[in-house]
Amino acid sequence: MKNDKEKFKNDFKKKVYCFILELIRFIDKLPKDTSSQIFAKQILRSGTSIGANYIEAQAASSKKDFINFFHHSLKSANETKFWLALLKDSKKANPRDAEKLLDILTEIANILASSILTLKGKK
């Protein structure tokens, strides 16, 4: 059982890390106009925050602190979804690339949300 849990944690951490790398490549392909670059900065901050807060949770000093970092990671995932959708709908980004990232991000957000519910004993 513990090995399954550790494998899941490692796989999830890898999924988040790979998502961020894909997000960076996506950002680097955006147009260089003013609005695209503002979006790029926002999405880079929120997207990398998902991973940073997840990693911080691993070193949390209490269960409450751990849950808090998961909340921050989920909030960052939701913010990143917003920016990706704007980029896709404004035609500033390749719609297929944005949709692919949105799919991965939805999976990440669902795992984070489910984990928070489990940690709070509501699942």
The pLDDT assigned to 52 comes to 97
Rounded to whole angstroms, the Cα distance separating 33 from 21 reads 22
The pLDDT assigned to 2 comes to 67
The pLDDT assigned to 123 comes to 61
User: For the chain, what is the largest distance between any 2 Cα atoms, rounded to a whole number of angstroms?
Assistant: 51
pTM score: 0.92
The pLDDT assigned to 83 comes to 96
Q: DSSP state, 122?
A: -
93 and 26 in contact (C-beta within 8 Å)?
Answer: yes
Residuewise pLDDT in 10s, the chain (123 residues) = 568 888 999 999 999 999 999 999 999 999 999 999 999 999 999 999 999 999 999 999 999 999 999 999 999 999 999 999 999 999 999 999 999 999 999 999 999 999 999 988 876
How far apart, in Å, do the first and last CA atoms of the chain sit? 19
The pLDDT assigned to 5 comes to 86
Rounded to whole angstroms, the Cα distance separating 71 from 68 reads 5
The pLDDT assigned to 1 comes to 59
CATH numbers and ranges of domains, the chain = 2-119 (1.20.1440.60)
